[in-house]
């Protein structure tokens, strides 16, 4: 491994001690009366805040992967710190977390970038971005042998969403899962966040990505990873994998007790027949 992306939010968004981190994730995965079992999972939606706030909701998504044999995870993230006109796939060999090294599927990354002028291999968006990194310890806890394609969307506009969706539909196989990393509304009252996030939940439940895109464009709802969610759903639709299931929804006030300004979270799955 010549180029490894080191963790940048360990000890901040999640524990830096591997034993403590594993215990915390195991606790999130210990969901009483978990009733969801899915085959043919195409994509997951998972939040990316600090584990104290969004870890429980993320646990619902990753519990679906326990005892499965998926091998590759295409993780699509917004770019929180850096705008750039395009979509960046990490140009290194691996990501590191306190739980170890996760290799990049370089062949699949090359296959994606070879089909596009706006999707490229680069460090752009990756150096300080947390939204991919926080997904990895969950994957490392529920699976033993897997690789990733880490993608950051510098621009989440419709042309970028459509191109990424089209290419993903062309290159993924049934051992690949696309993970869309996204939180929902930011810094509204709990009441207003519930209203806004209910719109997102409804669009996902109904698999209505066109209305979801319109809602985002008109600021009728919020999702910082709206582009990643839309890219995954549109790719799924191209392959007739148009079933969806919302697993859990919450907000930061559930942990902090501060209901004046909350951040919303959702976990969901997209799958085929």
Work out the burial of residue 32: count CB atoms within 10 Å of its CB; fewer than 13 is exposed, 13-18 middle, 19 or more buried.
exposed
Q: Which helix (H) or strand (E) holds 249?
A: strand 243-251
147/149 Cα distance (integer angstroms): 7
Supply the pLDDT for residue 116.
Answer: 98
What is the value of pTM for the model shown?
A: 0.98
Supply the pLDDT for residue 251.
Answer: 98
Q: What is the pLDDT of residues 113-128, one digit of tens each?
A: 999 999 999 999 999 9
CA distances from residue 147 to 139, 176, 194 in whole angstroms, order as listed = 10, 10, 35
108 bridge partner residues: none
> Tell me: domain 4-271, CATH 3.30.300.30, correct?
no
129/87 Cα distance (integer angstroms): 14
Q: What is the pLDDT of residues 18-40, one digit of tens each?
A: 999 999 999 999 999 999 999 99
User: DSSP H helical segments within the chain, as ranges?
Assistant: 18-29, 51-63, 106-113, 136-142, 158-171, 190-205, 209-217, 226-238, 253-256
Q: Which three-class secondary structure state does DSSP give residue 22?
A: helix
Supply the pLDDT for residue 208.
Answer: 98
pLDDT band of residue 190 (cuts 50, 70, 90) is very high
77/133 Cα distance (integer angstroms): 10
Q: Is the pLDDT of residue 1 over 80?
A: no
Dihedral sign of CA atoms 200, 267, 108, 77 in order: positive
């Amino acid at each position: 491994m010549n180029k490894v992306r080191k963790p940048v939010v360990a000890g901040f968004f999640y524990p830096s001690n591997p034993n403590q981190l594993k215990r915390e994730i195991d606790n999130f995965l210990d969901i009483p009366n978990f009733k969801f079992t899915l085959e043919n999972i195409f994509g997951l939606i998972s939040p990316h805040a600090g584990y104290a706030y969004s870890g429980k909701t993320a646990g619902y998504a990753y519990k679906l992967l326990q005892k499965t044999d998926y091998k590759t995870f295409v993780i699509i993230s917004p770019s929180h710190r850096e705008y750039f006109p395009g979509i960046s796939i990490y140009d290194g060999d691996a990501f590191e977390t306190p739980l170890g090294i996760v290799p990049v599927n370089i062949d699949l990354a090359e296959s994606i970038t070879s089909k596009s002028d706006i999707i490229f291999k680069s460090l752009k968006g990756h150096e300080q971005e947390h939204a991919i990194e926080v997904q990895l310890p969950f994957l490392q806890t529920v699976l033993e042998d897997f690789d990733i394609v880490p993608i950051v969307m510098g621009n989440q506009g419709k042309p970028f969403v459509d191109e990424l969706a089209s290419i993903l539909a062309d290159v993924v196989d049934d051992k690949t899962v696309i993970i869309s990393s996204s939180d929902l509304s930011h810094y509204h009252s709990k009441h207003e966040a519930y209203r806004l996030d209910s719109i997102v939940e409804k669009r996902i439940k109904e698999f209505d990505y066109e209305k979801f895109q319109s809602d985002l464009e008109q600021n009728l709802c919020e999702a910082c990873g709206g582009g990643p969610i839309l890219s995954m759903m549109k790719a799924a639709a191209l392959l007739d994998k148009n079933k969806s299931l919302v697993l859990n929804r919450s907000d930061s006030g559930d942990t902090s007790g501060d209901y004046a300004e909350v951040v919303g979270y959702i976990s969901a799955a997209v799958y085929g027949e």
